[in-house]
Amino acid sequence: MANHKFKTLTLGLWLYLLLPQIAWSDFQNGNQLLKNCTAKNDIQAKAYCIGYVAAIADVLGVGDREIGGWYACLPSHATQGDVVEIAVNWLKKHPSVRGEGASDIAAHALAKAFPCTPTP
């Protein structure tokens, strides 16, 4: 029995390593992100929202990296509150995209708020 589990795990690992072109989806979509970001009395949900959107902003940085094809040049004075507000407002104004991955949505919102040309 243990040998069977080992073979299954080994096969799974090999498939994972051999098939890197598979596109993994986001852990959450825009609806879930908006729900977390607008939670009234749920400190954990709000903290998750802030951390999630701030991480997207950190990755985008100053236009040298992209998420979903979106680039943004965040100014040094932008705060976590600023980027969360931008993402929440974007989600509220664009309900048709809420089913998409939250990382792409947040990156799109930040790219529109802080546009720039990608740096090489």
Mind listing the pLDDT tens digit for each residue in 40-95?
999 999 999 999 999 999 999 877 888 899 999 999 999 999 999 999 999 999 99
Domain ranges of the chain: 30-113
Burial grade of 77 (CB within 10 A; 0-12, 13-18, 19 or more)? exposed
CB 114 within 8 A of CB 46: no
pLDDT at position 92, please?
97
Does domain 30-113 fall under CATH 1.20.120? My reply is no
- Quick one: tokens of 74? 């965040």
Question: In the chain, at which residue ranges do the beta strands (DSSP E only) sit?
Answer: none
